[in-house]
Amino acid sequence: MTRWLDDDEQHTWRGFLAVNRMLFERLERQLQTGAGMPHAYYEILVRLSETPGRTLRMSELATNAHSSRSRLSHAVARLEEMGWVRRKPCASDRRGALAELTDEGMAALVAAAPGHVEEVRAQLFDALSAEQVAALGEIYDTVLAHMALSHMAPSRTAGPHMTPAETNAGA
């Protein structure tokens, strides 16, 4: 039996979708105009900068950056062309490869970070009180933990955000 969203849940779901779309469009625009890079590249640079030796296995980097391996491989190829990342063979596994943040890549990240952080702050955190930031953090921690536990479980319905009327209307 389908558990349709009630009016409050529907309102929250649609607000969540709208905020996410608008936030990521604005962050993408800021990084493109301010730093000449897409958000996906920024995320890769950040993940590498936060690891010892600024190096990660490509498979681990894909997981950490929430990216498919093929998408990550393409992005790393572009970052290599820019001189910001280099690939190295993995000494412990001949099939594995490592991605390493170069000094040039670190410099690009350091240059991009202030504008990006300011945009995150302006678009998200400046609109919230300290209590709301704490509540939002708790909400995301709860949802992420739930998703981690159930990520292997099949979806209950094909359209969890749809009402019966929307399903019939092909929405």
Q: What is the predicted pLDDT for the residue at 92?
A: 81
- 51 CA to centre of own chain: 17
117-159 tens-digit pLDDT = 999 999 999 999 999 999 999 999 999 999 988 765 544 443 4
118-155: buried (b, 16+ CB within 10 Å) or exposed (e) per residue? ebeeebeeeeeeeeeeeeeeeeeeeeeeeeeeeeeeee
Contact (CB, 8 A) for 59 and 96:
yes
The residue ranges of every structural domain in the chain are 7-125, 128-171
CATH number of 7-125: 1.10.10.10
Classify residue 94 by burial, with Cβ atoms within 10 Å: 0-12, 13-18, 19+.
exposed
Q: What is the predicted pLDDT for the residue at 110?
A: 97
